[in-house]
């Protein structure tokens, strides 16, 4: 996959303008560059005004930054989106079935399709979830599937985010900004709406409430607090859904239910959309020093009297070593070949794979199995000799902590620069809602773009930006 040319989503493999971009390109060519530069600055001002920031860790103090936003939309045709949706739904259903299985009979292990150590020795496997039946049988209520494109009809899943996927607030704010600044573009293109996501999220969460909930289920968002890097998103979603944003100190167990503090006293909560990691969720069951969770919430959960979204223990589906088995997982639970392919992956825990990775490190991307946000990874072709030597030491010391993949020729889409349109590499995170009522995929998602020429790193924490993602309706 890394040997071929780079696919440009605007101009295709032949250099001719692709149909999804036709109306946009006609509009862009008629626009004055000075007006577009002013609009780019206006977009940055809007983001600053709204407070759309994120925290960068790894320094003495967390540093708050503005999310870079590019005004050129990433455009996907209806046909392309339909194929993606089929593949995403198949994958999400398989992940949910996998989670139910490994916390119950572990049939996939018994069948020899997944090594037992992938579960038994996995830090993300939660023994406290064994035998627990989540309300409605749903583990993965909100999922983000990271996709990359390498050709006209070639999409690959880069990773699954089934624990606490973030970024949906940027998707919504990107669209709101574009609608505000370029309303004429939306009259020239039939773009599928994303604005219904908060209402869809609330509906999906409510549909996942425990069976003994009476009346309209009470939903709340649990945040670790204002110092969390995604706090803006927690507050944003609670506000858009019209539900309470709570911290652990606002909740307690009352008469066998989880209840939140209100001006009328403690009121029961039916569904808790938690953005707190498993280990901090319940000091009585996990980390005893946690001040972020709710003492006893796991006992209420095991009794089936509250829905926690996503379910505790879903993090094992994010594990990058488990990711390498997803083709087998999809086939085992659906009886079908995967519609969306994985990126080829070497598990460094296997001696032959480790030897290959060490010999070819300068050509590979190496990731921590529980890593996220672009931290703790190595991009071989861009690494210095010192970086490569340091990573070789890390791999030899803890091979089970890493996987490696080829350096993909990620597709490019145009960004707006002072000299006009210029191609930059991108990925895509569509957002998926799962409830007993079915699977709903928001038409679009979060496109992350590497703003530096030639860079393959799209994470905002590593210098990347975002752009609006359009799915055309015809």
Task: Place 458 in a pLDDT band, splitting at 50, 70 and 90.
Answer: confident
Is 420 a member of any domain?
A: no
Do 266 and 351 belong to one domain? no
Computed over every residue of the chain, the mean pLDDT equals 91
- The CATH number of the domain holding residue 236 is 3.40.50.11290
Per-residue pLDDT tens over the stretch 158-196: 999 999 899 999 999 999 999 999 999 999 999 999 999
Please determine, for residue 270, whether its predicted confidence score (pLDDT) is greater than 50: yes
User: Does any domain span residue 352?
Assistant: yes
Domain stop point among 382, 407, 432: 407
* Predicted pLDDT at 60: 41
pLDDT band at 372 (very low <50, low <70, confident <90, very high): low
State how far the Cα of 142 lies from the Cα of 203, in Å rounded to an integer. 12
On the question of pLDDT at 3 being above 50, the answer is no
* pLDDT tens string 98-150: 999 999 999 999 999 999 999 998 889 999 999 999 999 999 999 999 999 99
End position of a domain, from candidates 381, 407, 433: 407
CA triple 313-436-80, angle to 5 deg: 90
Whether residue 358 is found in the same domain as residue 299: no
Quick check: is 142 in a domain? no
Q: How far apart are CA 118 and CA 104, in angstroms?
A: 15
Is the pLDDT confidence value at 244 over 90? yes
Pick the last residue of a domain from 305, 324, 358.
305
342, 156 Cβ separation under 8 angstroms: yes
Domain membership of residue 273 (yes or no) is yes
Query: Which percentage of the chain shows pLDDT scores above 90?
Result: 78
Residue 385 lies in a domain: yes
Least Cα distance to 207 among 439, 445, 443 occurs for: 439
Number of separate domains in the chain? 2
- Does residue 294 sit in the same domain as residue 361? no
Report yes or no on 65 lying in a domain. Answer: no
Domain residue limits at 264: 211-305
Q: What is the pLDDT of residue 57?
A: 45
Domain assignment present for 373: yes
The pLDDT assigned to 459 comes to 75
Q: How far apart are CA 182 and CA 310, in angstroms?
A: 36
Question: Residue 350 is part of a domain; what is its CATH number?
Answer: 3.30.1490.270
In tens, the pLDDT along 397-411 reads 999 989 999 988 899
* Residue 301 and residue 221 in one domain: yes
Examine the domain organization and report whether 295 and 357 are in the same domain: no
Tell whether 376 and 297 lie within a shared domain: no
**pLDDT at residue 2, as a whole number:** 36
Q: Are residues 348 and 295 in the same domain?
A: no
User: Would 194 be classed as within a structural domain?
Assistant: no
């Amino acid at each position: 996959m890394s040997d071929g040319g780079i696919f440009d989503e605007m101009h295709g493999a032949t250099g001719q303008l692709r149909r999804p971009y036709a109306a946009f390109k006609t509009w862009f060519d008629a626009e004055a560059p000075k007006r577009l530069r002013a609009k780019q600055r206006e977009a940055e001002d809007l983001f600053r005004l709204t407070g759309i920031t994120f925290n960068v860790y790894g320094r003495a103090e967390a540093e708050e930054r503005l999310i870079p936003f590019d005004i050129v939309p990433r455009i996907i045709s209806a046909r392309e989106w339909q194929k993606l949706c089929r593949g995403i739904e198949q994958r999400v259903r398989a992940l949910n079935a996998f989670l139910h299985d490994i916390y119950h009979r572990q049939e996939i292990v018994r069948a020899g399709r997944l090594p037992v150590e992938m579960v038994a020795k996995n830090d993300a496997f939660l023994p406290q979830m064994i035998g627990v039946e989540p309300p409605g049988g749903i583990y993965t209520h909100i999922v983000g599937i990271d996709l990359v494109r390498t050709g006209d009809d070639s999409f690959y899943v880069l990773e699954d985010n089934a624990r606490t996927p973030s970024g949906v607030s940027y998707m919504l704010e990107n669209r709101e900004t574009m609608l505000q600044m370029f309303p004429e573009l939306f009259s020239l293109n039939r773009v599928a709406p994303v604005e219904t996501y908060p209402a869809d999220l609330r509906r999906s969460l409510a549909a996942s409430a425990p069976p003994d909930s009476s009346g309209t289920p009470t939903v709340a968002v649990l945040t670790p607090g204002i110092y969390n890097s995604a706090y803006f998103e927690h507050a944003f979603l609670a506000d858009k859904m019209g539900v309470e944003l709570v911290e652990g100190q606002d909740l307690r167990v009352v008469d066998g239910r989880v209840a939140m503090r209100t001006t009328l006293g403690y009121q029961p909560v039916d569904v808790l959309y938690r953005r707190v990691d498993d280990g901090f969720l319940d000091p009585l069951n996990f980390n005893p020093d946690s001040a972020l969770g709710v003492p006893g919430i796991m006992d209420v959960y095991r009794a089936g009297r509250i829905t926690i979204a996503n379910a505790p223990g879903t993090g094992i589906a994010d594990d990058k070593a488990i990711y390498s088995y997803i083709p087998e997982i999809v086939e085992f639970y659906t009886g079908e070949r995967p519609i969306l392919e994985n990126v080829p992956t070497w598990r460094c825990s296997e001696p032959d794979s480790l030897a290959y990775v060490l010999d070819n490190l300068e050509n590979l991307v190496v990731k921590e199995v529980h890593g996220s946000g672009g931290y703790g990874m190595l991009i071989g072709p861009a690494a210095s000799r010192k970086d490569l030597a340091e990573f070789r030491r890390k791999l030899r010391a803890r091979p089970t902590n890493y996987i490696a993949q080829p350096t993909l020729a990620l597709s490019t889409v145009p960004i707006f620069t002072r000299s006009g349109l210029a191609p930059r590499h991108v990925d895509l995170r569509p957002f998926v809602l799962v409830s007993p009522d079915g699977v709903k995929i928001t038409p679009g998602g979060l496109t992350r773009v590497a703003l530096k020429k030639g860079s393959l790193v799209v994470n905002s924490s590593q210098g990347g930006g975002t752009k609006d993602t359009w799915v055309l309706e015809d």
